[in-house]
Amino acid sequence: MNEQSALPGWVHGPARSAVLEFIRSVTTPGDSFVPASARIATFDNDGTLWCEKPLYVQADFLVRRFVAMVKEDPRRAQEQPYKAVVEGDREWLKDIYAHVPELLRGVTEAYEGITVEAFEAAVSDFFESARHPTLGVPYTEVTYRPMRELMALLTANDFKVYVCSAGGRDFVRAVCERVYDLPRDRVIGSATTLEYRDGHLYRTAGVEQPIDDGPGKPVHIWTRTGRKPLLAGGNADGDVAMLEAARFALLVHHDDAEREFAYDEGAEKALAAAQAQGWTVVSMKKDFKTVF
């Protein structure tokens, strides 16, 4: 690793130095050395690897589907979450934690009963046509370049890099090779239940438990890798358990209203934990030379 030229999208400052020093320490023979088999890096997706404002990418995908579902069956316009979507009820939609059961029902109903391949085709269609509402580019272009550089650097140092999303596992898999240069088996995430029948895998009405958020993240990571993360990156309160379980924790702070978005909502606990536990906080404004 050439420490001068590594991570070219990062400003030479304390965050970049802490990351490089950690990678050096676990890959160099000595007390802190970690064998390659235990080098697991896990990154939250929304807000850590790609832009999550003004709405989650997957929320845009689902809203479009909900609108189509109401067209197919107008009676749905009287039921949540479809009602809020067709009426543009931002208040209802904003408070997602107050409406988890209705939203999960919508999420599972939206693509219930179709094969995993048909679902992937729907996701691919979305990424072909949809544009980020304020940046005006395809969603495949709203990943953070410095984070992609970090994932590549970790891979070059024999880490196994995973995306670990509270959002849909199979949603991210449809684009992980293209946007993150990661194979499909490196995506961990929440999922609807599946059923195998006559050679096909169908999406069913349940949600796999636990979802891949909060304390569910270290559970998913163990389930998939048989390890706790050596390095983890997140940006929000739902990432605290994963960050706390990791040897090196990195918290992306959204403080760049000009180039991206500035917000601490939903990250208050994570920012406090970073302070208390000495995690590396990455200021998008000060530490990222380029964002996208």
Taking CB under 8 A as the criterion, the residue among 2, 4, 128, 196 binding a copy of itself is 196
Q: Which CB atom, from 7 or from 245, has the smaller least distance to a copy of itself?
A: 245
Q: Which CB atom, from 12 or from 184, has the smaller least distance to a copy of itself?
A: 184
CB of 96 to a copy of itself, least distance (A): 22
Taking CB under 8 A as the criterion, the residue among 142, 163, 245, 291 binding a copy of itself is 245
CB of 67 to a copy of itself, least distance (A): 28
Interaction between residue 227 and a copy of itself (CB under 8 A):
yes
180 CB neighbour count, 10 Å cutoff: 22
Interaction between residue 194 and a copy of itself (CB under 8 A):
yes
Size of the site for a copy of itself (CB under 8 A): 35
Contacts of 277 (CB under 8 A, 6+ apart): 244, 249
Cβ atoms 147, 289 nearer than 8 A = no
Question: 132: buried, middle or exposed (CB in 10 Å: 19+, 13-18, 0-12)?
Answer: buried
Taking CB under 8 A as the criterion, the residue among 44, 52, 170, 287 binding a copy of itself is 170
Cβ atoms 169, 191 nearer than 8 A = yes
Q: Determine the distance from the C-alpha atom of residue 251 to the mean position of all C-alpha atoms in its chain, rounded to a whole number.
A: 13
CB of 157 to a copy of itself, least distance (A): 16
- Burial of 81-98, coded b for 16+ CB within 10 Å and e otherwise, reads bbbbbbeeeeebbeeeee
3-class secondary structure for 43-57? ECCECCCECCCCCCH
Phi-psi category of residue 158: left, alpha or beta, with phi > 0 → left and psi -120 to 50 → alpha: left
Span of 85-93, 123-131, 137-145, 167-175 interacting with a copy of itself by CB under 8 A: 167-175
Q: List residues binding a copy of itself (CB under 8 A).
A: 37, 40, 116, 160, 169-170, 173, 177, 183-185, 187, 191, 194-197, 199, 201, 208, 215-219, 222-228, 241, 244-245
